[in-house]
Chains A and B, each alone.
Chain A
Amino acid sequence: MLDNFLENLKAFVEGFKNQSTSAIELQLHEMENGFALICFGSLMGMPSPPSYLGMALLPYLEHEIKVMIFKSERLDDRLAEFFDLSDI
C-alpha cells in the first residue's frame, strides 16, 4: 500500500522534472540534429560535401548522426510534435 503510494509520489515528482525540461530537451535534440547536419549534411542529401573537419569529428558524433537520421525520417510530420509546447 505504502509502496504503491511512494511509487506514485515518485512519478508525480518526476512529472515535475519533466515539466521543467521538456522544452529544452526538444531544443537540445534539434541542436544535435543541426550540428550533425552542418558536419555531414551530404549524408542527408545536402549539396555540400563533408569537409575535412567533418571527417575528423566523424568518430565522435555517433549520437548526433543517429538523431539526424531519425529526425530526417519524419520530416513530413514535424508540426504536431511542437504542440506540446503550447497549452490551450
Chain B
Amino acid sequence: MSSTVLVIIGLVIYIVFYKTYGGFLKNSIVGSSDKEVPSKRLFDNVDYVPANKYVLFGHHFASIAGAAPIIGPAIALAWGWLPAILWVWFGNVFIGAVHDYLSLMSSVRYDGHSVQWVAGKVIKKRTSYIFAWFILFVLILVVAAFGAVLGGIFVHKPAVPTAYFLQIAFALVLGYIMYKMKANFGVSTIIAIIFLTTSIIAAVYFPFHASYKTWMVVFLAYIIFAAAIPVNILLQPRDYMNAWLLVFGLAIGGIAIIFSFKPMAIPATTMFSAPIIAGQATPFWPAIPLIIACGSLSGFHALVASGTTSKQLSDEVEGLFIGYGSMLTEGFLSTLVILSIGIAGMGIVGADKAQTLTANAAAFGNHYIPAMKASGGPVGLFAKSYATVVNSVLGIPAKFMVVLAAMWVASFAMTTLDTTNRLARYTFSEILEPLKDSAKGVYDLFTNKWVASFIPAAIGIGLAWTGEWKVIWPAFGAANQMLASIALMTASAWVMRVQKKPSWPVFIPAIFLWVTVTIAMIWYVVKIIPIFMAKSPVQAYVLGAMMIIMLILNFILVYDFAKPDKNQEFAEDNA
C-alpha cells in the first residue's frame, strides 16, 4: 500500500468526519447558547480576551503538539501499521477529538473554568481532588517516560545532546535579544531560525558523548534549575524556537511523505499480542490507548482546552475548528510518523535486522522493539526514517535531517520536562492541602518550593534511571488516559445532566475508555510490574504503587459518577 494513498485516505477520513460527525456534535450535542462566550462576557483583557480563530488554533495546537504524538505511534508499529493507523484515525475521530471538543465547550459554558473545576461541580466535589492526583501522576510519569526516551537517543546519537545544549545557549541569547534589547520582531525571528540551523549543523560535527546515567543526572539538574528561573529567560524564547521547529518539521515532512509514493515496507498487521511492554505479549486491546496517547486521545488536552483556550474563544461556532480540528491535525501528524517509519524504517535498521524483520509478519512483531531499541529507541527510529524520506524526495542531506527530526522531538520533550515540574510542584501542594492544619510540619516541609520541585522530578528521573521506556511509556499513557476518562465522564455528565441531551456520542466512548484503561491497568499491575520488579525492584514498587493508587481512585471515580450527590446542585452552566 502506497504511503501517498494512505495519506490521502487519512485526510479524507478526517475531513469527512470533521464535517459530518463534528457537525453533528456541534448541532445536536453542544447546541447553542443565549449567553455570550466568556471571552466577551467576562472580558478583562487579561485572561478573557477573544482571539482570532486561526491564531487560537495555532496556539492551542502548539500547546497540545509535543513529543508524544511521535513517540507513541513509533512504538505501536510492533502490531503492524494498520492497527496503529486505524487507532490514530478512528480512535481520534470518535474518542480523542470528541474529548477535546467537548472539554473545550463544557468549559466555555462554565465561564471558562477548568475541567477539573467543572468535574467538581457536575460529578462530585471530591472528583476535583481525585483529578489533582491523576494530574500529579501524569506530570511525574511524563518526566519518567520522556526522560527515558531522551536518554536513549542522547546515547545512541551524540549529535542530539549537542543540538540540545546549543539550543539552550541560543535560547538564552535569543531571550536577551527579544525581551531585553527589544529587537525588531522580524529580525529576532531570523536570528532564531539562524540559531536553529546552526544548532543542527554544528551538532552533526560536534557530537557529545556521555553515558545514559550521566544524562539522567543532567536532566534532573536541568529540570530543577530551569523550573526555578523566570520564564522570560529560557522558557519563552525556547518556546518560540520550538514553534518554528514544529512548522518546519511538519512542513518538510508532510511534503516529503505526500510526494514519496513509496509502499509501506512493514507488515500491515503482525499479531494481536506483540511483545511490546517489558517484552511481554501485549494485547492490542486494551493496551493501544496506553501506547498511542496524543495523536489519538490524550487527557492532558482537556486541561489545555479548558485552561486557556476556552477563555479566548471568540465565538462558539469556532469551537469545533479549534477543539475537534486541532486534535485531528495532531492525528495527521501521527499518521505521518507511522508512514515515514513504514516506508523508510526498514532501510535504517541495518540489513541483517531488516531481513529478520521482513521475513514474515510474526517475525516483525517479535523483533520490532529490540530493533527499535538498537536504532536509538522511538526517537532514533523516527528521526532516521524521516531523514531518509526527506532526503529521497527533497534531496536535503540525511545527516542534518536526522538531527532536525531528533531535535524536534527532543526540544519538545525538554520543554515538557521543566514546565511539568513547575506544574507538579503546584499540584503537589494542592494535593497536600488537607494536611495543612492536621500535619503542619509535614505540610510546611513538602510545600517548600525546592522540596516540592525536587520530589516529583526525583521520582520521575528515578524511574527513568532504569532506561526501561518500554515499561514506563505505557504507565504514562495509562495516567494520561485516566485523565481523559475523567474528562469524558465530566463531559458526559454535563451533556446528560445539564444539557439534558442524548449523550451516547460521549457516554459510549467514556465507558469504552474507562473499561479499556481499567483492564489495561490491571493487566499491567499483574503482568508487567512483577517482571519489572525482577530487574529494578525500587522503581517497580514506586510504579506499582502509583498504578494501584490510580486504580483505586479510578473505581471511586466511576462510583461517584454513577451515584452523584443528591444534594449537589448541578450548577447550571453560565451560573
Contact = CB atoms under 8 A, between A and B. Distances in A.
Instruction: Answer whether A and B are interacting partners.
Output: yes
Contacts of B422: 82, 85
Contacts of B116: 77, 79-80
Contacts of A66: 44, 46
B62 interface: yes
Nearest to B300: A88
Contact of B426 (A11, A77, A79, A88): A79
Nearest to A70: B44
A19 B54 contact: no
Contacts of A51: none
B113 A23 contact: no
Nearest to B238: A23
Interface of B: 44, 46-47, 52-55, 57-59, 62-68, 113-117, 132, 135, 142, 178-179, 185, 188-189, 230-232, 235-237, 239-240, 242-244, 294, 298, 300, 303-304, 306-308, 412, 415-416, 419-420, 422-423, 426-427, 430, 480
Contacts of B306: 80
A84 B243 contact: no
B47 A12 contact: no
B185 A23 contact: no
A46 to B, nearest CB: 18
Contact of B62 (A19, A24, A83): A19
A14 interface: yes
B118 to A, nearest CB: 9
5 contacts: A16-B58, A17-B185, A22-B236, A66-B44, A80-B306
Chain A CB within 10 Å — which of B64, B189, B236, B243 has the most?
Answer: B236
Contact of A24 (B135, B179, B412, B427): B179
Given A18-B55, A66-B46, A88-B416, 15 more contacts: A8-B54, A11-B54, A20-B239, A22-B236, A24-B232, A27-B231, A66-B44, A67-B46, A80-B117, A84-B59, A84-B63, A85-B419, A87-B67, A88-B67, A88-B420
Given A79-B427, A86-B416, A87-B415, A19 B303 contact: no
B307 A82 contact: yes
A12 B412 CA distance: 21
A87 B59 contact: no
Contact of B239 (A12, A19, A81, A83): A19
A29 B185 contact: no
A47 interface: no
Contacts of A20: 178, 185, 188, 236-237, 239-240, 243
Nearest to B426: A79
Chain B CB within 10 Å — which of A12, A20, A24 has the most?
Answer: A20
B186 to A, nearest CB: 10
Contacts of B132: 79
Chain A CB within 10 Å — which of B300, B304, B306 has the most?
Answer: B304
Nearest to A17: B185
A29 B304 contact: no
B239 A14 contact: no
Nearest to B421: A86
A59 interface: no
A86 B59 contact: no
A83 B54 contact: no
Contacts of A17: 185
B151 to A, nearest CB: 18
Contact of A84 (B54, B113, B179, B308): B308
Contact of B46 (A8, A29, A80, A82): A29
B63 A83 contact: yes
A15 interface: yes
A77 to B, nearest CB: 4
Contacts of A86: 63, 66, 300, 304, 415-416, 419-420, 423
A70 B113 contact: no
B73 to A, nearest CB: 15
Contacts of B53: 11
Contacts of B416: 86-88
A83 B304 contact: yes
B236 A23 contact: yes
Nearest to A14: B55
B300 A11 contact: no
Interface string A23-55: 110110100000000000000000000000000
Given A16-B189, A66-B44, A87-B66, A23 B58 contact: no
Interface string A58-88: 0000000011001100101101111111111
Contacts of A83: 63, 300, 303-304, 307-308, 423
B58 A29 contact: no
A12 B113 CA distance: 27
A20 B66 CA distance: 17
B54 A15 contact: yes
Given A20-B240, A81-B308, A88 B298 contact: yes
B248 to A, nearest CB: 12
Nearest to B311: A81
A8 B188 CA distance: 22
